[in-house]
Amino acid sequence: MFIVLLSLLALLGTYLDPRLIFAITFILALFHSSRFSGEHFKVLMTSTVLTGLACVMQREIIYASIFLLFFYEFRKNVLLDIAIYTSAGILYFSLFSLINGIFLAPEYIIFISLAGALTAALVETVRVEEKRVAMLIGVATTFAIFRIYIPSASLLDLTFAFAVSFVLSLLALKAKIADESGLISATIVGTITILFTDLRFFSVLLLFYILGSAVTKYKYSLKTALGIAEPSGGARGFSNVFGNSLAPLFFAMNFGVTRESTFALAFVSSVAAALGDTMASEVGKTAKNVYLITNFKKVKPGTSGGISLIGELSALLGCFVTFLFSLLLGLADFNYALPVILSSFLGIHVDSFLGATLEKKGYLNNSAVNFIATLFSGLFCYLLIIL
């Protein structure tokens, strides 16, 4: 009942002051039952944060995430969860549009509802202590992003993008290349990439996923014996997918909005860095002579920040392969080979440096390091071209 009433308040978001909604929410939570549980308190606190954001953001975005929380109890499995949350989002934005006299295009309602549903379903596959809180924050963030970046796509485009991304991600799950969280996160990345750009950009990302997964299997038994092999047979989870794909996705979305070719080259550079780093890491683990990038002292294979001759050659190969593939697709021009390959190769070493310093000290995890390195690659490539 607590969530139901809160959801009803969400639909009236335009008419009510956020502070009033917070006050009503607090009273409902306080008198919901004879005991005010810790779970209620955490939901309340999260709702308070979102309500505060609603004061400076478009309110329907914040309240929509609260509305979806009501359907949390109906979750069953990944496919059903996506369907339920998408339907809930469509219901909310349709009713909100009707009640408040605000026109929202049907294709936009379906797109943003699907994006929120994928995010909500992803939370269910991730190990977090308070999934309701994570769902509220994750869905609200997703809704907010896609109120800024709105793709100009038809329902047919949306259906095609989602179908291609989901089917290929499902095949990756069946092939044990990805786990369940990797399935959903790859679907999110793929769908958005296709909607904002085209299949060429998606193909470059697909190249990374395929070659990256293949090279992970390289001498896997040896790496297992050494205790440095990727867990679960190298199956990618959401952290790995987002760590390597969020920066390319950022550049792809900006290309989709601006149509500036420089963003396309930055996208290629960031993917090249991701592939090159994966190849350097997985092949380099089998090297006999590995040296720490910060002081060049010899270290054990698999040490964060370790570099080797075979690893460096593999990194450079990954950069070249990505650029050549993009060249064949028409995303890159041969005249920009140097800035793309140079920036991606430098990004790989940014990854190694962060691995030997901040990751080693526990300030960053591997996915955060991957994200920073790929983002650096794209930004550096962008600056090299425009300056």
Among 93-107, 159-173, 178-192, 258-272, the least confident range:
93-107
Cα-only R_g, the chain:
23
Other CB atoms within a 10 A radius of the CB of residue 153 amount to: 19
Q: Are residues 257 and 359 in the same domain?
A: yes
Three-state DSSP class for 178? strand
Q: Are residues 140 and 215 in the same domain?
A: no
Q: Which one has a higher pLDDT value, 131 or 368?
A: 368
- Per-residue pLDDT of 13-58, as tens digits, reads 445 555 455 455 445 444 444 444 455 445 555 555 555 444 444 6
Q: Are residues 231 and 347 in the same domain?
A: yes
Q: What percent of the chain has pLDDT over 90?
A: 36
Q: What percent of the chain has pLDDT over 70?
A: 80
Q: Are residues 262 and 127 in the same domain?
A: no
Compute CA distances 109 → 160, 186, 307, whole Å: 16, 22, 48
Q: Are residues 237 and 326 in the same domain?
A: yes
Residue 269 covered by a domain: yes
Kindly report the CA angle at 223 between 275 and 216, in degrees rounded to 5?
Answer: 25
Q: At which residue do the structure tokens 């425009």 appear? A: 386
- The model's confidence at residue 144, banded by pLDDT at 50, 70 and 90, is confident
Residue 165 covered by a domain: no
Among 44-48, 125-129, 265-269, the least confident range:
44-48
Total of domains in the chain: 2
Residue 310 covered by a domain: yes
Element (H, E) at 203: helix 199-216
Q: What is the mean pLDDT of the chain?
A: 81
- Per-residue pLDDT of 67-82, as tens digits, reads 887 888 788 787 888 8
Q: Are residues 324 and 210 in the same domain?
A: yes
Q: Are residues 208 and 141 in the same domain?
A: no
Torsion angle of the four alpha carbons 335, 341, 342, 344, in this order, in degrees rounded to the nearest 10:
140
As given in the structure block, the two tokens for residue 61 are: 């975005």
Q: Which one has a higher pLDDT value, 158 or 193?
A: 193
Residue 159 covered by a domain: no
Q: What is the reported pLDDT for 95? A: 86
With a CB cutoff of 8 Å and minimum separation 6, the contacts of 11 are 63, 67, 92, 95, 96, 99
Q: Are residues 129 and 220 in the same domain?
A: no
Three-state DSSP class for 299? strand
What is the rounded average pLDDT of the residues 260-289? 92
Domain boundary among 120, 148, 176: 148
Q: Residue 267 in contact with residue 347, Cβ under 8 Å?
A: no
Residue type, 212: G
Q: Are residues 205 and 73 in the same domain?
A: no
Residue 161 covered by a domain: no
Residue 77 covered by a domain: yes
Domain boundary among 148, 177, 212: 148
Three-state DSSP class for 177? coil
- Per-residue pLDDT of 218-264, as tens digits, reads 776 776 776 666 665 556 788 888 889 999 999 999 999 899 999 99
Among 130-144, 256-270, 323-337, 371-385, the least confident range:
130-144
Q: Residue 319 in contact with residue 272, Cβ under 8 Å?
A: yes
Q: Residue 276 in contact with residue 319, Cβ under 8 Å?
A: yes
Q: Which one has a higher pLDDT value, 294 or 23?
A: 294
Q: At which residue do the structure tokens 């009236």 appear? A: 12
Q: Are residues 218 and 141 in the same domain?
A: no
Residue 58 covered by a domain: yes
> 329: domain range?
199-386
Q: Residue 304 in contact with residue 360, Cβ under 8 Å?
A: yes
CA distance 241 to 97: 34
Other CB atoms within a 10 A radius of the CB of residue 44 amount to: 18
Torsion angle of the four alpha carbons 279, 280, 285, 290, in this order, in degrees rounded to the nearest 10:
170
Q: What is the reported pLDDT for 233? A: 59
Other CB atoms within a 10 A radius of the CB of residue 253 amount to: 22
Q: Residue 374 in contact with residue 347, Cβ under 8 Å?
A: yes
Residue 43 covered by a domain: yes
Q: Residue 94 in contact with residue 67, Cβ under 8 Å?
A: no
Q: Are residues 363 and 261 in the same domain?
A: yes
What is the rounded average pLDDT of the residues 292-309? 88
Q: What is the reported pLDDT for 312? A: 94
Q: Are residues 127 and 242 in the same domain?
A: no
Compute CA distances 273 → 226, 243, 264, 266, 340, whole Å: 26, 12, 14, 11, 10
**DSSP for residue 217:** T
Three-state DSSP class for 300? coil
